[in-house]
A and B are shown apart, each in its own frame.
Chain A
Amino acid sequence: MSKAPFGRRALTVTANEELGAYRVLRAADPNGPQPEPGQFAMLAAVERWGGGEDERPFLARAFSVARHSAHESHFLLEDVGPGTRRLCELRAGEQLWAVGPLGRGFTAPSEGRRALLVGGGVGIAPLAILQDTLAASSPASSPEGEGEADATVLLGFRDRDRAQGAALLQGARIATDDGSVGHHGLVTELLAIEIERDPHAVVYACGPAPMLEGVRALCERSRTPAQLALEAGMACGFGACFGCVVPKRDGSYLRVCVDGPVIDAAELEHVEEHAGAPA
């Protein structure tokens, strides 16, 4: 995994663009290493971090790196609380504290196995950089770099506004809860069809806990290997606070920040929805 520079560093925001219900925040990161797909960063605004709703935020917030190119990191944000709201407000030229890249990312599929990328909501973010990386490393990718056929992308959203987030990836098939775009239903229903079609595929998933639990259960039944990028409330992101644990099958705990966020689905009995992240 890429080693993070020690200590937080100030990044300058270069763009903050609307993408349906989300924002894509870009920040110049001249001193940061190339993150691996699935790694994340702890972000906070340098100015006015705190004093919002309930006198929060206080802690930095964890975000998957959605894309990284030319020393610029992209993050996908959704305004769901005082911390994410403040980050969504940032304008080009303003500064961001960042620690990262952190955690263990996705492991590429072994040769000849197709990657099935399954995302839900704002959790589609790490699948974008994964798709970029898979396309760049695929022998099938053309010299022009149009390697979109290597991975199948299935994304689920609540509604039409959020489904616009699918533009972050190439060639995504979409499911929506309200049927406004694509398949009317769950993204795991699309996944079930794909797994049946190609039992040797490898699943890469990130999204809300109920979706990840659906993916986990499906992959367990079909014996499909799956790598799940988890979210948990965390204070530090580098193993110090022990706050972000999830139980393993054997009853011991994993720290999502240093043992994950990408966890082999076989290690988990369930993906539980309890350790909600501070928003």
Chain B
Amino acid sequence: MSVEFCGLRLAHPIINGSGTFDAIAARRVFGEQLCERFPFAAYVSKTITLAPRAGNPPPRLWETPAGLINSIGLPNKGLERYIEEDLPELAQITAGAPVVGGEEAAGEGGRASVHLITNVMGASAEELCHLVEACDARPEIAALELNVSCPNVKTGLDIGADPRTLQEVVRAVRGRTDRPLIVKLTPNTADVAACAQAAEHGGADAVSLINTLRASALAPRRRTNGAGNASRQWLGGGTGGLSGPAIRAVALAQVAAVAARVAIPIIGMGGVQSSTHARELLDVGARLVAVGTESFRDPAAGARIARGLR
């Protein structure tokens, strides 16, 4: 079941979606069992930004039919404290972690380690270059993922939504690292395959999709006290992103569309709850599959899905 991805050997094709599994918090809750039964073949960090971010004011969540809208706002410690405080612990958690089904990939050492992927976001090519260079200096980080669902400081448009901007930004960043560079595509664009192609032309080693779909929720009427529509938004951050089984069919279509246009490997994700769902994304062209919202319902979902693929 082991799989090659951008020069890395993964024990199986299941990883986590960025921002859906805090391995440090999970270790506090579940103890060393987490390391002994780590559910993912590679671990993707939450999005790291240059400066610390507190995240959006609550409420941050809304349950939808077969899904979840989140408006978390990318809270993180900022690059410096991520590298100093979190990276060593993440490396420790993942270094010795035997991977479910990893025997085949383990080789002579007997254990396949979990690769660390760091996800970064910046509002400009300069910010992203700074982030990528700092991560490139750290041997614990096996690969980088760019979160390009971020408004460009100059244009106000999401960097990842416009193929030309995306290609320029990826090209700028490409020069700063030899590590595998993954571009996390936004689904909130007219032509996701064109964006994937732009990332490839910019020098990306892989693309990951789909990120959450932009969504909003209105507060229940009893809470509004007759206020106008503008103040009826439930989420503290205004709009949010929809995930979960509600978006699985969209993910399947977008991954297939991207696979038809690029040669680089694809990390497919969106509403995967079972090995059947993962298999579908692999069938339409994904090399790896990320699990996100399902981990909220079952912290060991990644391991369950990986086992089912054997």
Contacts and interface: CB of A to CB of B under 8 A. Distances in A.
Interface string B74-107: 0100000000000000000000000000000000
B59 A274 contact: yes
Identify whether the interface residues of A are mostly helix, strand, loop, or mixed.
loop
Given A58-B68, A59-B296, A6 B60 contact: no
Contacts of B293: 235
Contacts of A50: 66
Contacts of B29: 3-4, 102, 238-239, 258
Interface in B27-47: 28-31, 33-34, 37
A8 B298 contact: yes
Q: On chain B, which size bracket covers the interface? A: 35 or more
B25 A239 contact: yes
B22 interface: yes
Interface in A1-24: 3-8
A206 interface: no
Contacts of B59: 233, 274-276
A58 B271 CA distance: 12
Nearest to B236: A274
A242 B60 CA distance: 8
Interface string A229-258: 000111110111111111100011101001
B270 to A, nearest CB: 15
Contacts of A242: 19, 22, 55, 60, 72, 75
B298 A245 contact: no
A243 B60 CA distance: 5
Q: On chain A, which size bracket covers the interface? A: 35 or more
Contact of B299 (A6, A56, A276, A278): A6
A191 B37 CA distance: 47
B20 interface: yes
A253 B54 CA distance: 7
B278 interface: no
Contacts of B72: 241-243
A278 B31 CA distance: 28
15 contacts: A3-B30, A5-B30, A7-B298, A7-B303, A58-B63, A58-B68, A232-B58, A233-B60, A235-B296, A239-B28, A243-B58, A245-B58, A251-B54, A253-B58, A253-B75
Interface of A: 3-8, 44, 50, 54-60, 97, 99, 102, 232-236, 238-247, 251-253, 255, 258, 274-276, 278
Closest A-B pairs by Cβ, 10 of them = A239-B25, A7-B300, A55-B65, A243-B61, A236-B296, A6-B33, A235-B296, A3-B31, A6-B30, A8-B298
